[in-house]
Amino acid sequence: MPFQFNLKKQDMGTSARLGEMVTPHGIVHTPAFMPVGTQGTVKSMLPEEIRNCGAEIILSNTYHLYLRPGHETVKKLGGLHKFMHWPGPILTDSGGFQVYSLGALRKITPDGVMFRSHIDGSRHFLTPQQAIEIQEALGADIMMCLDECTPYPATPSQTEKSLNLTAKWAQQCKNAKTNSEQALFGIVQGGSYLDLRQQSLDQIAPLNFDGYALGGVSVGEPKDIMYKITESITPLLPGHKPRYLMGVGTPEDIVFAVSCGIDMFDCVIPTRCARHGLLFTNSENVVIKNARWREDNNPIDENCDCYTCKNYSRAYLRHLYFAGEILAMVLNTIHNIRHYMRLMEDIRTAISENRLGEFKKSFNK
């Protein structure tokens, strides 16, 4: 089944939208948050637990799976869905951000990126064509073009050079794509400069990708700049295609971006915070290592319906955390992922009832 995006409803007071992405492995209701399963696993979570939390799609990473166990191995074993026992849709990022984060271990050229593996120091050269080859071998439902992630800060000339390279690679990625059932998203760069964001969009939009992403945010820029970019550029992205804000973010960031018209999100925040004992609630977040929870017999959040909140107390979770038990990470992650899924469910309900603006105001109080 080829990829489709069906726009179902527009909120009357904001630019928020309800939609459905139809993929070979199921339907994703948007706005949607994708838990991050970098190496073919959402850390400390069974696939069944991810699904029970309400997640419909997850993200995995091309760079990491290319290095270990290798995309040919994954393909030989039946593809990433079978390999990791996840029946739902998967989006794979191109590896561009991971290569960007390698710093001195990588060198960008007009034809691709030369980098050294963070695992064993071996040398590799990743081209746009190879990024597509890897993602097709993994069997992703949604693939991302290889792009150059513009750092912050960067000069206008550096940023323009970067976005031109991203546009060149985008065309090469599209030319390299061979599987009609796998979707391919283009990425708009341009750093913190709105005029260069527009220039990047003018280059990427005509290539008629299946969806469009805003890249190069959450790379160290102040939040008000990320908000300005999102608010200004999102309405200019093709309205009949899904819009993806890469690497974002906190619950507050998500609510804001949804109001601007963003449909898709991913971020390591819920899983990483869970492993470090920061648990999200709709009121005060819980830092589970704090002494105040030592004898607290209440759940993390009395209004949460997750497995953790139904069965375990703050006192027990604090005990597990200080004991260094693996179960602490499991139970904390279940809660944080479910909190994010409940947030997306509440957002979709608010849009369906034309009250996303009210939801946003009450959420930020």
Domains detected in the chain: 4-267 (3.20.20.105), 274-334 (no CATH)
pLDDT score for 24: 97
pLDDT tens profile 20-37: 999 999 999 999 999 999
Give 240's Cβ-side CA count (13 Å radius): 4
pLDDT score for 104: 74
pLDDT score for 129: 98
- Tell me how long the chain is: 365
pLDDT tens profile 153-166: 999 999 999 999 99
pLDDT of 97 higher than 90: no
pLDDT tens profile 22-80: 999 999 999 999 999 999 999 999 999 999 999 999 999 999 999 999 999 999 999 99
Place of tokens 């546009």: 167
pLDDT of 320 higher than 70: yes
365 pLDDT tier (thresholds 50, 70, 90): low
What average pLDDT is seen over the chain?
A: 96
pLDDT score for 174: 98
Is 93 among the residues known to form the active site?
Answer: yes
pLDDT of 197 higher than 70: yes
* CB contact set of 62 (below 8 Å; sequence gap of 6+): 92, 93, 94, 95, 131, 134, 135, 138, 144
Is 210 among the residues known to form the active site?
Answer: no
- CB contact at 8 A, 33 and 266: yes
Phi/psi at 26 (5° precision): 130, 175
Tell me the average pLDDT across 303-328.
98
CA distances from 306 to 43, 202, 269, 297, 342 (A): 17, 44, 18, 16, 10
pLDDT of 99 higher than 80: no
pLDDT score for 1: 75
pLDDT tens profile 111-135: 999 989 989 999 999 999 999 999 9
pLDDT of 103 higher than 90: no
Sheet holding 4-10, edge to edge: 4-10, 17-23, 26-30
Strands 26-30 and 17-23: antiparallel
Tell me the average pLDDT across 321-345.
98
pLDDT score for 335: 98
* CB contact set of 309 (below 8 Å; sequence gap of 6+): 299, 300, 301, 302, 335
pLDDT score for 257: 98
pLDDT score for 58: 98
Q: Which of 93, 141, 210, 253 is catalytic?
A: 93
Tell me the average pLDDT across 240-256.
97
Tell me the one-letter amino acid at 169: W
Give 170's Cβ-side CA count (13 Å radius): 30
Q: Which of 11, 253, 266, 301 is catalytic?
A: 266
